[in-house]
């Protein structure tokens, strides 16, 4: 993983960030609510704004939204 990027995951109640994608995914698989994960092109720990659950960093990429370990689609 690049030193200047990390993964940011969140749901309606909590968030987690790490340079290790599997750490973020495994943490959210234990939660009951759907969650989304982004690749954020800044080092973990650097401050940035979050708006409507999404990182406000140019170049951030939404990797997906899941519930447990399955893709999530709201009805």
Average pLDDT of the residues of the chain = 91
- In contact, 57 and 41? CB cutoff 8 Å: yes
The mean per-residue pLDDT over the stretch 26-54 comes to 94
Q: What is the largest CA-CA distance in the chain?
A: 38
pLDDT average, residue stretch 53-70: 93
How distant, in Å, are the alpha carbons of 28, 54, 59, 74 from that of 11? Answer: 9, 10, 21, 14
* pLDDT tens, residue by residue, 52-61: 999 999 999 9
Residue 6 dihedral angles phi and psi, to the nearest 5° = -155, 175
Secondary-structure percent of the chain, ordered helix, strand, coil, rounded to 5 = 10, 35, 50
pLDDT in tens, 8-30: 999 999 999 999 999 999 999 99
Whether the per-residue pLDDT at 69 is higher than 80: the answer is: no
């Amino acid at each position: 993983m690049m030193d200047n990027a990390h993964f940011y995951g969140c749901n309606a109640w909590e968030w987690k960030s790490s340079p290790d994608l599997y750490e973020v995914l495994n943490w959210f698989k234990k939660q009951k609510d759907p969650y989304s994960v982004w690749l954020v092109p800044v080092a973990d720990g650097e401050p940035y704004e979050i708006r409507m659950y999404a990182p406000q960093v140019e170049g951030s990429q939404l990797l997906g939204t899941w519930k447990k370990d399955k893709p999530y689609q709201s009805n």
